[in-house]
Structure 1
Amino acid sequence: MAVTSLVLGIVGFVIGIIPIIGWFFMPAWILAIIFGAVGIRQNQSKGMSYTGLILGIVTFVYKFGFWLLVAAGA
C-alpha cells in the first residue's frame, strides 16, 4: 500500500500540473490518498505512506483551488 501510494502520488502530481490532461488522473490522486491512509494504519513504511498521502492531497487542493480562484476572479 505504501509503495502504491507513493507511485500514484508522484505520477498524479507530475501529470496533474499539466492543465487539461491532469484532470484525467483524478483517480490517481484519490487512490494515493486512500492507499496512503491504509498504509499508515497497517504500519507499513510510514515515510512512503505519508509522502503519497501528502502528494495526493496537494495535487487535489492545487487543481480544485485553481478553479476556485478562477471562479472568484470572474
Structure 2
Amino acid sequence: MHEIIVEKESNGMAVTALVLGIVGLVIGLIPFIGWFMLPLWFLAIIFGLIGRTKHYQRGMANAGIILGLIAVIYKFGFWVLIFYLGSL
C-alpha cells in the first residue's frame, strides 16, 4: 500500500506580518513605550507586502499590512493633532 504525503503550504511571511502587526499595535497603544514598536510596525508592512506575493494565506498578509499602517497612522497622527491644536 502506498502512503500519500500531503504537505500543507504555509506562508511564513504572512504569519510573521500578522504577529508583528498585532504585537506592534497592542504594545504601541501604551504611552511612552509604544514608540519602541516602530520597527515592528514597518516590518509588519514589509513582511505583509512580501507575503502577498504568494497565492495562499494572503488574508494574513493583508491583515499584517493593515495593522502596521493603523499603528503608524495612530502614533504619527496623534502627534500631528497635538502640534496642530497647540498652534491654535
**TM-score where L is the length of structure 1:** 0.96
**Structure 2 residue ranges without an equivalent (≥5):** 1-12
Q: How many residues align?
A: 74
Q: Give identity over the alignment, percent.
A: 57
Q: Which has the larger radius of gyration?
A: 2
Which of residues 55, 59, 67 is equivalent to 1:43? 55
Distance 1:27 1:17 in 2: 15
2:27 counterpart letter in structure 1: I
User: What is the CA-CA distance between 1:41 and the residue it aligns to?
Assistant: 1.6
**TM-score where L is the length of structure 2:** 0.81
Would you tell me which structure has more helix in proportion to its own residues? 1
SS in 2 for 1:20: coil
Larger relative contact order (CA 8 Å, sep ≥ 6): 1
Which of residues 19, 23, 38 is equivalent to 2:31? 19
Stretches of 4+ aligned residues off by more than 4 angstroms:
none
Task: Provide the alpha-carbon RMSD of the alignment.
Answer: 0.8
Provide, for residues 14-43 of structure 1, a one-character-per-residue CA deviation record: whole Å limited to 9, x for no partner.
001011100001000000000001100233
